[in-house]
A = this chain, B = another copy of it.
């Protein structure tokens, strides 16, 4: 049976985290009161969430296999003599990570919102700096509606895994998960104004009230953030590593808005900005410039992102090449929803989208296949060659087509030909043409993974996921540059 050995867990190291996490959780109750008490509890819960994920995922794997939630890893070669059932990798284990994530957010409620802690923080002021009463009490409703959306996303992701919905049909499903968010946003009379970029102000003025369109925008954001991670999938560790890096980028961005106990400055002028950014000191909260509202928004974001990073790291340990568990759709649904929740509730959806650059690129590239211009097979993962043990770009029409395989028509439409030619000229795909008619007969699948393989040559699965991670990190660095060095070109200081 132990053909796919479980990854070893360094128990001693892990258990030494328990007292650390416990200290963080109870820190708000100890003297002297820290300036952001609930942040400590959040870190403590995140460490526990990490531990729960890293232990529960392998422990529950067999249960998932028994419930027929398992699959063979198609990009690996094993001896034919091994019976198939010994090679089954448990699938949908993202459900465990998602459940741990949501549960830790639920258990965090009394630490962020309970009156005793809030009162204590009112009475005893921290020695210096801003004492942030983390959430105004009424924000509990906002927090709960976010949790509801995350839970609906978890549920829908798992339903997707169990009922195996065709991926073109499931594109609009995340809209359902955004409904609780929208309902409470409406009931709370959420802000539907957006700041107009400088070049457009002569038409719309400085602020424009999008009204109902703002709700459309919010639900589209959740649809995008969910699906864009879900379609950049298929190799070991790809889904969870994307989520991890985006979450870390959001956290880094949030940290810029918190009151820092130490003073330092970021030389933004080197990046072309007009001002420098000074941190630390009394009442100085980084980019928040003393605005309590901005600090609170970014704390809200941190409270959702810290445990997300924790469960992603715990899950990645088992999902890393060669994967011992698969995430299923649940992980993509819940991480995507978590990003749109913080983007919407903490009002930095445009910054958030900047962290999705590889996903946006992959989505735009995929459009011809998503919308039926180019034939789209059930799986678009790179092709595995068992002799070289490397991955190669996969074809839209595979070498061994079956009955359900769609093909290019004998004479592809002019639009399809045009689009494919353009992509080919941009070196984003490789086209096969009929030697007699010159008509397109096949292309590589339009995914960013295939683009990597086309441009950098065939590589191993582990290498490919490393390239993906590097591109995601590079995208985030570029995002920070655009947000903090170039944003003054289109926005003035009055930001929301």
Contact = CB atoms under 8 A, between A and B. Distances in A.
A186 B159 CA distance: 32
B187 A109 contact: yes
A162 B152 CA distance: 18
Contacts of A63: 163
Interface string A135-153: 0011011001101100110
A39 B462 CA distance: 58
A162 B67 contact: yes
A316 B222 CA distance: 35
A114 B186 CA distance: 7
A60 to B, nearest CB: 9
B140 A187 contact: yes
A198 interface: no
A167 B188 CA distance: 42
A106 B140 contact: no
A216 interface: no
A145 B69 CA distance: 31
Contacts of A155: 151, 154-155, 158
Contact of A148 (B69, B106, B113): B106
Contacts of A69: 162
A179 interface: yes
Interface residues of A, number: 41
A474 interface: no
A107 interface: yes
A110 interface: yes
Given A67-B162, A163-B67, A183 B106 contact: yes
Interface in A288-316: none
A110 B186 contact: yes
Nearest to A165: B63
B140 A110 contact: no
Contact of A187 (B114, B145, B159, B176): B114
Contacts of A336: none
Considering residues A137, A141, A152, which has the most beta carbons from chain B within 10 angstroms of its beta carbon? A141
Given A151-B151, A152-B151, A189-B115, A144 B184 contact: yes
A68 interface: yes
Interface string A164-175: 100000000000
Top 7 closest pairs, chain A to chain B, by CB: A144-B144, A109-B183, A113-B187, A140-B141, A114-B187, A141-B141, A151-B151
